[in-house]
Chains A and B, each alone.
Chain A
Amino acid sequence: MSDLLKTPLYEQHQNLGARIVDFGGWALPVNYSSQVEEHNAVRNNAGVFDVSHMTVSDITGSDTLPFLSKLLANDIYKVSSLPGKALYSCMLNESGGVIDDLIVYYLTDEYCRVVTNAATNQKDMAWLAKQAASFSNVSVTEKSDLALIAIQGPKALDIIQTKFSDDIASSTKNLNRFQGTFTENSADNIFIGRTGYTGEDGVEIILPANKAEQIWQQCIDNNIQPCGLGARDTLRLEAGMALYGADLDEEHTPIESGLSWSVALNDKNKIPRDFIGATALASNSRYKMIGLILEGKGVLRGHQKLLNNSEEVGEITSGTFSPTLQKSIAIARIRSNCELSIDSTLHVQIRKNQVEARIVKYPFI
Chain B
Amino acid sequence: MSEIRSELKYLSSHEWARVEEDGTVTIGISDYAQESLGDVVYVECPDVGAAIVAGEQVAVVESVKAASDIYAPISGEVIEVNEALEDSPETVNDSPYDDGWFFKVRPDELEELGNALDSEAYEEQLDE
Residues of the B chain whose Cβ atoms lie less than 8 Å from the Cβ of A9: none
Residues of the A chain whose Cβ atoms lie less than 8 Å from the Cβ of B63: 35
Bound-complex Cα distance A36 to B64 (A): 8
Asked if B27 is at the interface of the complex by the 8 Å CB criterion, the answer is no
The CB with the most chain B CB atoms within 10 A, among A230, A301, A321, A323, is that of A321
Asked if A55 is at the interface of the complex by the 8 Å CB criterion, the answer is no
Q: Are A321 and B44 CB-contacts (below 8 A) given A35-B38, A35-B39?
A: no
Asked whether, in the complex, the Cβ of B38 is within 8 Å of the Cβ of A299, the reply is no
Q: Are A320 and B64 CB-contacts (below 8 A) given A31-B38, A36-B39, A298-B44?
A: yes
Residues of the B chain whose Cβ atoms lie less than 8 Å from the Cβ of A301: 67
Residues of the B chain whose Cβ atoms lie less than 8 Å from the Cβ of A39: 64
Residues of the A chain whose Cβ atoms lie less than 8 Å from the Cβ of B32: none
Give which listed residue, A30, A36, A230, A299, contacts B42 with CB less than 8 A: A299
Residues of the B chain whose Cβ atoms lie less than 8 Å from the Cβ of A30: 65
Asked if A177 is at the interface of the complex by the 8 Å CB criterion, the answer is no
Asked whether, in the complex, the Cβ of B44 is within 8 Å of the Cβ of A34, the reply is no
Residues of the B chain whose Cβ atoms lie less than 8 Å from the Cβ of A36: 39, 64
Q: How far is the CB of B34 from chain A (nearest CB, A)?
A: 11
Residues of the A chain whose Cβ atoms lie less than 8 Å from the Cβ of B62: 298-299, 321
Residues of the A chain whose Cβ atoms lie less than 8 Å from the Cβ of B38: 31, 34-35, 230
Q: How far is the CB of A163 from chain B (nearest CB, A)?
A: 30
Asked if A225 is at the interface of the complex by the 8 Å CB criterion, the answer is no
Interface residue total, chain B, C-beta cutoff 8 A: 13
Give which listed residue, A19, A298, A323, A351, contacts B64 with CB less than 8 A: A323
Residues of the B chain whose Cβ atoms lie less than 8 Å from the Cβ of A234: 64
Asked if B41 is at the interface of the complex by the 8 Å CB criterion, the answer is yes
As a 0/1 sequence over residues 15 to 44 of chain B, the CB contacts with chain A under 8 angstroms (1 = contact) are 000000000000000000000101101101
Asked whether, in the complex, the Cβ of A35 is within 8 Å of the Cβ of B60, the reply is no
As a 0/1 sequence over residues 29 to 64 of chain A, the CB contacts with chain B under 8 angstroms (1 = contact) are 011001110010000000000000000000000000
Q: Closest B-chain residue to A322, C-beta based?
A: B64
Q: How far is the CB of B33 from chain A (nearest CB, A)?
A: 13
Q: How far is the CB of A294 from chain B (nearest CB, A)?
A: 10
Residues of the B chain whose Cβ atoms lie less than 8 Å from the Cβ of A123: none
Q: How far is the CB of A43 from chain B (nearest CB, A)?
A: 14
Residues of the A chain whose Cβ atoms lie less than 8 Å from the Cβ of B42: 297-299, 321
Q: Closest A-chain residue to B39, C-beta based?
A: A36
Q: Closest A-chain residue to B65, C-beta based?
A: A230
Q: In residues 298-350 of chain A, which contact B (Cβ within 8 Å)?
A: 298-299, 301, 320-321, 323, 328
Name 6 A/B residue pairs within 8 A (Cβ), A-sorted. A35-B65, A230-B38, A297-B42, A298-B62, A301-B67, A321-B41
Q: Closest A-chain residue to B62, C-beta based?
A: A299
Residues of the B chain whose Cβ atoms lie less than 8 Å from the Cβ of A19: 36
Asked whether, in the complex, the Cβ of B39 is within 8 Å of the Cβ of A299, the reply is no
Q: How far is the CB of B78 from chain A (nearest CB, A)?
A: 16
Asked whether, in the complex, the Cβ of B64 is within 8 Å of the Cβ of A321, the reply is yes
Q: In residues 154-175 of chain A, which contact B (Cβ within 8 Å)?
A: none
Asked whether, in the complex, the Cβ of A35 is within 8 Å of the Cβ of B64, the reply is yes
Bound-complex Cα distance A35 to B66 (A): 12
Residues of the B chain whose Cβ atoms lie less than 8 Å from the Cβ of A230: 38, 64-65
Q: How far is the CB of A280 from chain B (nearest CB, A)?
A: 35
The CB with the most chain B CB atoms within 10 A, among A39, A230, A234, is that of A230
Q: How far is the CB of A298 from chain B (nearest CB, A)?
A: 6
Residues of the A chain whose Cβ atoms lie less than 8 Å from the Cβ of B39: 34-36, 323
Residues of the B chain whose Cβ atoms lie less than 8 Å from the Cβ of A34: 38-39
Asked whether, in the complex, the Cβ of B65 is within 8 Å of the Cβ of A299, the reply is no
Residues of the B chain whose Cβ atoms lie less than 8 Å from the Cβ of A321: 41-42, 62, 64
Residues of the B chain whose Cβ atoms lie less than 8 Å from the Cβ of A297: 42, 44, 86
Q: In residues 77-103 of chain B, which contact A (Cβ within 8 Å)?
A: 86
Q: How far is the CB of B2 from chain A (nearest CB, A)?
A: 13
List the 10 shortest-distance A-B pairs measured between CB atoms, nearest first: A321-B41, A299-B62, A36-B39, A321-B64, A35-B38, A35-B64, A230-B65, A299-B42, A35-B39, A34-B39
Q: How far is the CB of A71 from chain B (nearest CB, A)?
A: 35
As a 0/1 sequence over residues 60 to 76 of chain B, the CB contacts with chain A under 8 angstroms (1 = contact) are 10111101000000000
Q: In residues 47-67 of chain B, which contact A (Cβ within 8 Å)?
A: 60, 62-65, 67
As a 0/1 sequence over residues 228 to 246 of chain A, the CB contacts with chain B under 8 angstroms (1 = contact) are 0010001000000000000
